[in-house]
A and B are shown apart, each in its own frame.
Chain A
Amino acid sequence: MNSNNVLIKAEKLTKRFGESVAVDNIDFEVNKGECFGFLGPNGAGKTTAIRMIHCVLPLSSGTLNVAGMDVSKQPRAIKRIIGIAPQEDNLDPDFSVLYNLIVYARYFDISRTEAQKRAKQLLQFIQLEEKTNVLIDELSSGMKRRVILARALINEPQILVLDEPTTGLDPQARHLIWDKIRSLRKQGVTIILTTHYMEEAAQLCDRTLIMDNGKIIEQGNPKALVKKHVGEQVLEVVYDEEIMSYLKQTFPDAKLEIVNDRVQVFSSQPRGIFAGLLDKFRDKGAIIRDANLEDMFLKLTGRRLRE
Chain B
Amino acid sequence: MKMPYFSLPKLSYRVRLVWRRNFDVFIKTYMVNFIPPLVEPLFYLVGLGFGLGSFVQPQEGLRYIAFIAPALVAVSMMYSSFFECTYASFVRMYYQKTFDAIIATPVNLDEVIAGEILWGATKSFINSTIVLIVIIIFGLVSSPLFLLIPPMAFIIGILFASIAMCFTAITPNIETFNYPAFLYITPMFILSGTFFTIAGMPHTLQLFAKLAFPLYHAALLSRALALGRIGPHLWFSVGWILLFTPIFFILAINLMKKRLIK
Contact = CB atoms under 8 A, between A and B. Distances in A.
Interface of A: 17, 54, 56-58, 75-77, 79-80, 82, 84, 86, 88-95, 99, 103-104, 106-109, 155
B96 A93 contact: yes
26 contacts: A56-B103, A56-B261, A58-B261, A76-B106, A79-B105, A79-B106, A80-B106, A84-B104, A86-B97, A86-B104, A88-B97, A89-B97, A90-B96, A90-B98, A92-B96, A93-B96, A95-B25, A99-B24, A103-B21, A103-B24, A104-B101, A107-B102, A107-B106, A108-B105, A108-B106, A155-B105
Nearest to B29: A94
Contacts of B24: 95, 99, 103
Contact of B17 (A75, A92, A107): A107
Nearest to B106: A76
A76 B98 contact: no
A96 to B, nearest CB: 10
Contacts of B104: 54, 56, 79, 82, 84, 86
Contacts of B17: 106-107
B108 interface: yes
Contacts of B203: none
B107 interface: yes
B106 A106 contact: no
A107 to B, nearest CB: 4
B233 interface: no
8 closest residue pairs by CB, A with B: A90-B97, A107-B105, A90-B101, A94-B25, A84-B104, A76-B106, A107-B107, A79-B106
B102 to A, nearest CB: 6
A17 B108 CA distance: 21
B98 A92 contact: yes
Given A79-B106, A80-B106, A90-B96, 12 more contacts: A57-B262, A58-B261, A76-B108, A77-B106, A79-B105, A84-B104, A89-B97, A90-B100, A95-B25, A106-B21, A107-B105, A108-B106
B210 interface: no
Interface residues of B, number: 22
Contacts of B100: 56, 86, 90
Contacts of A88: 97
Nearest to A91: B101
Interface string B22-59: 00110010000000000000000000000000000000
A99 B25 CA distance: 11
Contacts of B62: none
A76 B28 CA distance: 30
Give the one of A57, A80, A82, A107 with max B CB within 10 A.
A107
Contacts of A57: 261-262
A38 B102 CA distance: 24
Contacts of B103: 56
B258 interface: no
A17 B28 CA distance: 40
Nearest to B28: A94
A104 B105 contact: yes
B229 interface: no
Contacts of A79: 104-106
A118 to B, nearest CB: 14
A17 B100 CA distance: 19
Nearest to A92: B98
Nearest to A79: B106
B259 interface: no
Contacts of B98: 90, 92
Interface string B1-35: 10000000000001001001100110010000000
A128 to B, nearest CB: 18
Interface in B90-130: 96-98, 100-108
A92 B262 contact: no
A156 B239 CA distance: 49
Residue in B1, B103, B261 whose Cβ sees the most chain A Cβ within 10 Å: B103
A166 B206 CA distance: 61
